[in-house]
Every structure is written in structure tokens, then in C-alpha cells.
Chains A and B, each alone.
Chain A
């Protein structure tokens, strides 16, 4: 019994409970525990499960009395979902790469109207043969061209999806305070 009270005293001292108040609580507790023991009542019957955790009991009692400030409420700060961050970063990176490739590279897709009467449009070796007086539209396409456009498209879709996910995350994150 006295060991329990001693541990409470140590905890109150550690928490900065003024000595007169700690003395008062310790005296009341010791008297009650002694009286209970004399009547054959166990400490657990008097203190509940706190009988096995004197530090927690002491802190709780002092806090409830307002002698020490209650432990600060723990604000639940949701962690930013790493997967979402990585997804957004990847989408943004893809968008930048696709845009750079499209801006700095050679035109990969071009539509050339060739008229045989204007033979100077294309270099002679590259110019296909058309009968005089006819015109043709020739699509010059590099095989890599669709990849960049597809990347750009996918990146934009992914960024839109990421924006939707972020807005959902912002709405659903808890703002409550846990105690």
C-alpha cells in the first residue's frame, strides 16, 4: 500500500504538483487504502485497474483536479498518402517530359501537299513521282510520334485523376481532435 502511495508521490513531484496538495492527496489515499485493507477490501476494489498503474492514476487524479494541465489534445494529423504523392509526381513528370519532347523535337507528324507542278517543294530524291498536274497529300509520320502524344494525353488524364483524389482526400481527412 505504502509503495503505491510512494509511487504516486514521485509522479506528482515529477509533474510539478505543489507539495501541500501532493501531501493532502497522499494522506487521503494512504488513509483510504489502510481502511480498506483493514476491512479486507483489496486495492483493486478501491482503485479499479489503476491499482496496477500508480503513475497513470496519480497523473489522472492531478489532472482532473486541475492541478496540472491536462495532456494536450492530440490533433490527428493525417499523413499525406505517399502513394498519392508519388502518383502525382509521376504524372507531372510525364507531362513535362512529353511536353519537352514535343516542343523541342522535330515535327513528327506533318501533312504535306505536293503538287507536281511545283517540283521545288520537296527535294528531288525524296519527292515521290506524281503525274504532271496532279496533287497528293502525303502524311509524313515518324514512328515515335504517337508515343509522345499518348504520353501527354495519359499524363493529363493522370493529373486530372490525381486532382480528383486530392480533393477527396482533403474532404475526407478528419478534423476532430482525439483525446
Chain B
């Protein structure tokens, strides 16, 4: 894996649970639908990540609620939505992410990046 892709994977690994909680907070979603929502925002799950084990962990930890319902013209799917504990975890996680992002930005801001044209 290229260095850039590897770093992106590492960065994503720490916040993918927040991203999943965020996209399902917009409305209940099944697995692939969440992937689609992430992809529409430019967040492709490529690399070591897979959302399924993570969804399993969120479910085990009580951060999501699930139910089965028919999808649009398709087979019944398992839909996920944040539980109250999940929403709380999402809020806390977003605060932590923003604090970490701002701190890293402050460190990296002086770095001049030359982009090859």
C-alpha cells in the first residue's frame, strides 16, 4: 500500500466509528448505504477498513439500535441508528476530534506544501 493511502487508512481507523454514527444519525441506514453516504462525502473505505466488524462492535457496545426492514425493492436489510448512548458518544467523539484536528493544524500550519502541477 502506498504511503499516502496507508496514512489515510491509519487516520480513518480512529474516527471511522464516529463517521458511521454520524451518517446513521442522518437517518437509519444499512451497511452498504452507510458506505455510499461516506463515499458521497469523499470518504472511500479502501485499505484495511471494513465497516462490518465496526458495526458489530457498536451494536455490542449498545451504541446503535438495529431493526430489520425491507429496503427499496430489495430484500429485508438490517438498519442501524444511533442509540441515546451512541449519540452521546458521537458528541463526545466529535469534540475530541475537533480538538485533535485543531492542535495538529496548529503544528502543521507553518509547513509550506508545494503541489506538483
Contacts and interface: CB of A to CB of B under 8 A. Distances in A.
Contacts of B32: 31-32, 35-36, 46
Nearest to A46: B35
A6 interface: no
A66 interface: yes
B31 interface: yes
A45 B44 contact: yes
Interface residues on A, range: 20 to 34
Interface residues of B, number: 25
A49 interface: yes
Nearest to A67: B56
A31 B52 contact: no
Interface stretch (B72-80, B89-97, B103-111): B72-80
Task: Summarize A's interface: helix, strand, loop or mixed.
Answer: helix
A24 B46 contact: no
A32 B31 contact: yes
A38 B110 CA distance: 45
Contacts of A41: 35, 39
Interface in A19-75: 24-25, 27-29, 31-32, 35-36, 39, 41, 44-50, 57, 60-66
A60 B53 contact: yes
Nearest to A30: B75
Contacts of A32: 30-32, 35
A45 B36 CA distance: 10
B60 A49 contact: no
A49 B47 contact: yes
A50 B56 contact: no
B50 interface: yes
Which of A24, A41, A44, A48 has the most B CB atoms < 10 Å from its CB?
Answer: A48
A45 to B, nearest CB: 6
Nearest to A60: B53
Given A31-B77, A57-B53, A65-B53, 20 more contacts: A27-B75, A28-B78, A29-B31, A32-B32, A35-B74, A39-B36, A41-B35, A45-B35, A46-B35, A46-B45, A48-B46, A48-B49, A57-B50, A57-B52, A60-B53, A61-B53, A64-B53, A64-B54, A66-B56, A66-B60
Interface of B: 30-32, 35-36, 39, 44-50, 52-54, 56-57, 59-60, 71, 74-75, 77-78
22 contacts: A27-B75, A28-B77, A29-B31, A31-B74, A36-B32, A44-B46, A45-B35, A45-B44, A45-B45, A45-B46, A46-B32, A46-B35, A47-B45, A48-B45, A48-B48, A48-B50, A49-B47, A50-B50, A57-B52, A60-B50, A62-B56, A65-B56
Return the 5 tightest CB-CB contacts between A and B, nearest first: A65-B56, A32-B32, A64-B56, A64-B53, A66-B60
